Structure 1
Amino acid sequence: MREIVVISGKGGTGKTTLCASLAALAHREGLNPVLCDLDVDVPDLHIIFNPRMEQEQPFISGNTAVIDEAACTQCGRCLELCQFGAVHLKDGVFHIGALDCEGCGVCHRLCPAGAIEFPERHCGTWYLSRTRFGTFVHAQLEPGQENSGRLVGLLKQKAREIAAAENGGLILCDGSPGIGCPVISSLSGATLAVAVVEPTPSGRHDFERVADLCGHFRIPIAVIINKADLNGDEARAIEEQAARRGHALAGRLPFSPLVTEAMIRGEALTERDSPLASELERIWRRIRAMADKPARRANINTL
């Protein structure tokens, strides 16, 4: 089973737009793709997919301490023990800030009066939906929650289970931006990473970081330079950078008002014929060919 993850060094590079376009092409070719939005902090692939939700499940991860005011003796032991500043005293009453609590459980275990409860934490919701392009697994993490990597791992597990059950040969994921925990979780077990890069100095720097991360996990990279015509010199520099590191260039995409027009319609770029759609089809063929190659060790030598 092939697992392709679209990533970028930062948000706003066109990662989600590209992923939706590839999803439409994969569906058109009869690949029966399982689609997955792994940007659980700020998911937006559903805006284009317009999914029909079939399952909704809570995401429970970790615990949060809560003081039972009726049982509390106001001894202040919890305030002494907490190393995260989560315990507050206001008007003579102790309480624990839900967003401050790290869920370590020390106050719960060592409260002399046993007045601190430790319920499981509801961190978000994940969904199983159907779209015009295939089965879709997605989620929404609650504001302020920090377990995005674990939720990403859960979504990938569900996507693999669905792909196995539905005889799907492809999992296509819209990964999280950056190089943090959710990105590492997004890349886990991937066949190929598709890196969307902008032709700017900061874009080159962002690409270096994601290339190092993929290299660490020995995941091959297909590079797409988006809005390449806005800065030809930087686009060429990124091509050279990718070549030095042993990464293949899947293609260049121009800046185009068609992107905004497709967004307004709630469509993928490849749902209508256009020169941009034709270029995306060529890029998709290259990506498929790269994903079919045996796994190789990426070159992670410093530049």
Structure 2
Amino acid sequence: MSTPPPTIGAVVLTMNDRKEEFTRAMDSLLAQEGVDLDVVVVGNGVEPELVPPGVRTVALPENVGIPGGRNVGAERVKGDLLLFFDNDAILPEPDSIARLAARLQQDPSLAYVQPRIADPDTGVTLRRWVPRLRADATRPGTVTVMAEGIMLMRREAFERVGGWPGHFFLFHEGIDLAWRCWDHGYTGYYLPDVTVHHPATNPARHAMFYRMNARNRVWLARRNLPRVLVPVNLAVWTLLTLWRFRDLKVLRTSLAGFREGVRTNCGTRTPMSWRTVARLTLAGRPPVF
């Protein structure tokens, strides 16, 4: 008797602003072989357009942000595994998802597995797409964070840790989710043998990037770290910000976001155990960086 294919719930967000990219992304997703796919497209403040036949949709009355929209999609799809897939990404091979799923099935300690992300024109993998401090895009292995846009996750782990931090809206939600997975005893894995194409866009193109990037870094630390490590993490971030950004306008915006993160509600605080701090450190990424 043959083994049934893995069941995968795929979540794709849209704001109807990437018509050509969305069509290519959906074509590549629906062409995947060796998996049982259930796909839902979530319209973030819109009624989804150009959706292929047989794909279900959810239209949200307002834009709730990327992590919030993904949470909605995860509730709607069926499957033991959850695929979060950017609407401008492309799966170049028909077995890409099946290979990611196989890696998860081989190791029950894994919460998530991430492929290598590369620009379709240049083949370049950006530094921020490699989920480790040493940015060797070709080296597989255990990782402590994730690139949020293209990732396959065990549903059991996703639900156990509470899903994405929806109130983050955009930026750093993947670190938050990964840290909570590690605190529940899971790990993550980077599988560069599976490549997914994604345009090498600059996140700073978003008008709110510097403010929300800073705010969410503060929320991330406040929500997840033991109290003694929170000021250490934020001090490291502040020093790096001062070193990287010489534009006074950018600095002012980042510091405003920092103050917002300190003064506003970060959500439920569930600090990781010191055992998790040690596990993350041994895995190559102490949670102060």
Fold similarity call, TM over 0.5: no
Higher RCO structure, 1 or 2 (CA under 8 Å, sep 6+) = 1
For normalisation by structure 1, the TM-score amounts to: 0.28
Which protein has the larger Cα radius of gyration, Structure 1 or Structure 2? 1
Higher share in strand: 1
TM value normalised by structure 2: 0.29
